[in-house]
Amino acid sequence: MNPVLAELTKSDKFNEYLERIKKSNAPISILGLAGVGTLQIVAFTEENIKRPVCLITYNELQAKKLAEEIRSYINGVFFFPKREILTYDYVAESKELPYERIEVLNKIKQNKAEIIITTIEALMQKMISKELLYKYVIQFKVGNTYNLEEIKQNLIQLGYDRNDLVENKGQFSVRGGIIDIGLTEKQGIRIEFWGDEVDSIRYFNISSQRSTEMIQEILINPAHEFIVEDLVKVCKRIREAYDDLADIETIKNGSYISKIDKYFNEFYEEQSTILDYINNKYILFIDENTKVEARKNNIILDNNNLIESLTEKEKFV
């Protein structure tokens, strides 16, 4: 145990607070803490209660600062950023932010996120349902049989781009009976088939393309959070609501990622927030409640002003 955190066990008030959490006697308000005190409380609560934590704060600058500082006390700390929602069409999207978000969601799914730090803005944003996001994950296991064509379609559905050679994360390639999948910027997974049966599973170095560790099984999670099941149905809903033929044609051709913000309700009838992804084992902390409340109100006000501005300019809302 971190010696700084161990000092907290000597406090009667802190032990009383732990007992209240164990008994689910909440909400609990803790006042008068300096910045480092907040971090110590959060870190030691997770370590002592053995339950994951979600800390909600008022902006991304504060969230990143808290995440960086709390990592000095404990491992398994992840920052979940807000999604950048654009009010205009774009040709190429940045993949770093989607990768950052999906990494946190995958860690939550695998029960590997001990502490999540996010913002009220990220919490308020609509997301696709957890059930849809993880509907097409692939569990590869040596000795099991698979349909290669179905695997290719599933990988595309999961957001992986097909390339001749895997050169980065979020890509896959198929060469004969070998499927390579880029998991990170440096590491990929190589699945070798003998007919329909998985003969071997190995990690490989993306820069050298050389195989490294051999394993028996692996779960392939989504590469981004925008899983779309039925483009025909999406186009029908857009036509009924807006009759935007140009966008419909673009979506039909498979270039739909840049259109999801514009037609989110048409893409996803069932919607969630990050709170739907974390289970009831998570302890929720709110950092500086008055600032979080103020930020929430400002987000709503900014949203309404944006809608009014777009309407006045006869732009799509």
Backbone angles phi, psi at 83, to 5 degrees: -85, 135
| Closest-CA residue to 155 (of 177, 178, 173, 129) | 173
How does the average pLDDT of the chain come out, rounded? Answer: 87
pLDDT for 4 beyond 70: no
pLDDT for 317 beyond 80: no
- 222-243 pLDDT per residue, tens: 998 989 988 889 999 988 888 6
pLDDT of residue 64: 94
CB 27 within 8 A of CB 99: no
The lowest-confidence range among 195-199, 213-217, 231-235, 257-261 is 257-261
- 22-53 pLDDT per residue, tens: 887 778 887 767 666 777 788 888 888 888 99
CA distance 112 to 105: 10
Is the model's pTM score more than 0.75? yes
pLDDT for 198 beyond 70: yes
CB within 8 Å of 191: residues ≥ 6 apart: 140, 178, 179, 180, 181, 198, 200, 201
- 84-94 pLDDT per residue, tens: 876 555 554 55
